[in-house]
Amino acid sequence: MEMIRKAAGYLLSRFDEIPRTVVVLGSGLGGFADEAENKKVVGYSEIPGFLTSTAPGHAGKMICGEIEGKKVLLMSGRFHFYEGYSMQEIGFFVRVLKVAGIKNLIVTNAAGGINREFSQGALMMIRDHIKFFDDSPLRGQNYGELGVRFNDMSEAYTPELMEKARIAAKEENIDLKEGVYAFMPGPSYETPAEIKMLEILGADAVGMSTVPEVITAAHCGMKVLGISCITNMAAGISAEKLSHDDVKRTADQNADKIKRLIARTLSLI
């Protein structure tokens, strides 16, 4: 808690005002930060206790600015379990933002499509998730200042924010799918057999991020919205070989669509 408060205090000293909402920008979506006006930038390396973002395309910067006239905090780059960090380390930044005053967490990611009705480039609002991993960002000592020992996860993705995203998608004429996101630790892509298992269990998309952040945010009582860009069809759904270059390319090609959706949603919050 001492380190969490120290990091939160640093952010409060660098930014004149901490917005109510933070947007975590996934692979290929860092360009959204260019849309911000009147911005101030802080590198992750400057923030006490923060990790280094090593994934390709993740800049490792926090940007405070305005989108559609609304103050917002943008995280250009996130942290992944496959980078060698623990779940507890990954959840650290969410707790820092909670203590700093953030109320709403919008998470975006690049994901593999499992639902056969989806197409490459589709946007999916996360309705729920499946975590295939025995660790948790909440394992270990509980910090009662942040949340209860055994927290509820029945509405980890906030219905109020989901409805605003639906309205935003309609106003922007964007076909917004909805579905269940499955978390797998990576960094290897899943096997066709694993994807078949996830499909049977009801997953619509799969990825290597987001869920540790959402679990931590739910514990802290933050409101959460999750948006996935389906950058490829998962192994066995499509015969194509998977590569991160293709993931980034598809995310770049659909960046404008997700930018419009997030910007319009922010205007409604």
Higher pLDDT, 149 or 255: 149
- Spans of all domains in the chain: 2-268
**Reported confidence tier of residue 30, pLDDT bands at 50, 70, 90:** low
Quote the distance between the C-alpha of residue 217 and its chain's center.
Answer: 11
Q: Look at residue 177 in the predicted model and tell me its pLDDT.
A: 98
222 catalytic, yes or no? no
CB count within 10 Å of CB 175 equals: 9
58 catalytic, yes or no? yes
219 catalytic, yes or no? no
Does residue 133 carry a pLDDT above 80? no
Catalytic residue among 208, 222, 233, 234: 208
13 catalytic, yes or no? no
Higher pLDDT, 174 or 17: 174
CB count within 10 Å of CB 141 equals: 9
> In the chain, pLDDT over 90 holds for what percent of residues?
71
Between CA 126 and CA 5 the distance in angstroms is: 30
- Nearest Cα residue to 94 out of 206, 186, 11: 11
Q: 235: which strand partners?
A: 238
85 catalytic, yes or no? no
Higher pLDDT, 254 or 269: 269
Least confident of 42-46, 58-62, 221-225: 58-62
Residues whose CB falls within 8 Å of the CB of residue 13, separated by 6 or more in sequence, listed in order: none
228 catalytic, yes or no? no
Q: Look at residue 44 in the predicted model and tell me its pLDDT.
A: 93
Between CA 252 and CA 269 the distance in angstroms is: 26
Over the chain, what is the mean pLDDT?
91
**Reported confidence tier of residue 254, pLDDT bands at 50, 70, 90:** confident
Does residue 56 carry a pLDDT above 70? no
Rounded mean pLDDT, 127-142: 91
Read off the pLDDT of residues 206-234 as tens digits, 9 standing for 90 and up: 999 999 999 999 999 999 999 999 998 89
Rounded mean pLDDT, 185-213: 95
Catalytic residue among 55, 62, 75, 110: 110
- Nearest Cα residue to 237 out of 207, 202, 199: 199
Q: Look at residue 57 in the predicted model and tell me its pLDDT.
A: 59
238 catalytic, yes or no? no
Does residue 52 carry a pLDDT above 70? yes
Q: 232: which strand partners?
A: 112
Query: Would you say the pTM of this structure is higher than 0.85?
Result: yes
Read off the pLDDT of residues 88-101 as tens digits, 9 standing for 90 and up: 999 999 999 999 99
Between CA 91 and CA 40 the distance in angstroms is: 24
83 catalytic, yes or no? yes
CATH class of 2-268: alpha beta
